[in-house]
Amino acid sequence: MKYFNQKQGTSRVFLLFSGCIVAVFIAVPFLQQHFISAQNPYTVLENKMRTMNQILYHVNDLYFEDVDMEKLMDGAFSGIMKKLDPHSIYIPAKKQKDVDELFRGKFQGIGIEFDILNGYITVISPVADSPSERVGLLPGDQITSIDGEDAFQITKEEVYQTLRGPKGTSVDLMIRRIGGEEFPVTIVRDDIPIYSVRTATMLDEKTGYIWLTRFSASTSDEMKTSLEKLEKLGMSQLILDLRMNSGGYLEQAAETANMFIARPDTLVYTKGKQKKVEQVFIADPKKGREDFPLIVLINRGSASASEIVAGAVQDLDRGLIAGETSFGKGLVQRQIPMSDGSAIRVTIARYFTPSGRLIQRPYEEGKDFDYYKELYAEDREATIDSLINLRPKYNTRLGRVVYGGGGITPDKFIPHTFSPKSGTQKILAHSKRPLFNWGSNYANEHWDELTNYNDFKNSELSGKDYSIFLDYLGEQGIKPDTSDLNDDRNYLVTMLRAEIASARWGKDAAFGIRIRADDQIMTAFSYFNEATAFLRSSQ
């Protein structure tokens, strides 16, 4: 306005022209002020809530069909969380119980951890020792139909309703595997175990083996019990298997890592927006042991809490990390209950390994499917190797170079090279469970002969017994592809012997045999000399 007062004698034309210019300059400070105001999150929230109320009013008033407002709002809340990162989620009240069961309870169903990606149920991980694992479902598998009904755009609530059910009932699924064709599978529902330690057994007279499948509220107690058991059996070196362990509680990961660290050193620390969510976990030397060599097995399904354990072991040079580059989840979530029984799981911090590494993989908003799909690329490890020089470098306590910015890179890369052929897989995944039934019958018929597990573990199944099994398949109306079975005969025999051992001596005995067909575990044995060297170097 002062500008106009100083220009009273200006021609009318110039005033009109100037008025246009001044309008522009008046608008600029106004927009600046509005922009600054808009950056206040409470102002944005107030404005957007007003708009949302208007939208809901008009949808409810004008939409041509009745609207399920609860469903609509659940969708809105889910959309809010999806805008943050791939791991922040909204959990409706009806599903909260199901989420809690994963770490505390027990339920019956097929046993998968899943998400709805690209419109389809996508397997994140089959639950250990569940029907879905027994039939061979893999991370990344898409369920395209359920009992003949198209599963595209299915909701999570519908997934629970259709895939869960009483033990002994079956469900027919159509599976689309990344890079492959669709194939049918029938899964018989069963009790879904929630234990953290899948098995704890001796692989030979001195090598202990623990398969840890998740980090639940009971993980540290289960781990202590397992280590004590193996020590009594003569363990002097250990393989800790964290493959396909998708994570869990941060505190339990720190407790587990502490079991292998006998120095007052940092295990993991977190950084967030608020100081109150930042934590530093320091090892208690009284809880840790460093008197035996340790190899930690990881793969692309090892995420979050399992990466914390692997990262601590690697950064502190406590043991050797072997297998494949891990998932790359360096975000910490907190589950917060809402007043209506629902909850949000929101990322509150990033976690860092002792050397300062952030191992979170890059992600882009709205590209969750690509975020997960990258894991299943056949050339994933080669791609990671090609980008290794672009990743930030850090040093372990002994000065070894390790990398951040995309998972835990193993000290020794061990690829998973063997997969049963399709004909063999159909037998393994058959709904009649022929291996389990035949193995159980064999154990019952030869019970008195099966007196010593170690003798059985080192024996072989006779050719006659294998032929009897093939005849049994025919009796059950199962017609195998004999060429595939012949090619995979050694593997199939190992699985049969594992079922016999399970029926006679229990699941730990079964794994003592089954792992002989696991190329990653068997290769890991050859690296114990290098794992032992860490003990001498750190003393």
Report the alpha-carbon distance of residue 519 to residue 526 in Å, rounded.
Answer: 12
Report the alpha-carbon distance of residue 66 to residue 90 in Å, rounded.
Answer: 24
Kindly name the residue from 74, 129, 315, 508 that is annotated as catalytic.
315
Distance between alpha carbon 472 and the CA centroid of its chain, in Å? 37
Helices (H), 233-379: 250-258, 305-315, 368-373
What three-state secondary structure class fits 74? helix
> What does DSSP say about strands 207-212 and 237-241: parallel, antiparallel, or unpaired?
parallel
User: The tokens of 263 are what?
Assistant: 């120095």
- ∠180-182-183 over CA atoms, to 5°? 115
What three-state secondary structure class fits 182? strand
Residue-by-residue DSSP string for 104-148: T--EEE--EEEEEETTEEEEEEEPTTSHHHHTT--TT-EEEEETT
User: The tokens of 217 are what?
Assistant: 């509220």
For this structure, is 518 an active site residue? no
Eight-class DSSP state of 179: T
Kindly name the residue from 125, 246, 304, 326 that is annotated as catalytic.
304
Report the alpha-carbon distance of residue 329 to residue 277 in Å, rounded.
Answer: 18
Kindly name the residue from 95, 156, 329, 426 that is annotated as catalytic.
329
Residue 146: which residues within 8 A CB-CB, separation 6 or more? 154, 162, 163, 171, 172, 173
For this structure, is 306 an active site residue? no
Residue 513 one-letter amino acid: I
For this structure, is 304 an active site residue? yes
> Active-site residue numbers?
304, 315, 329
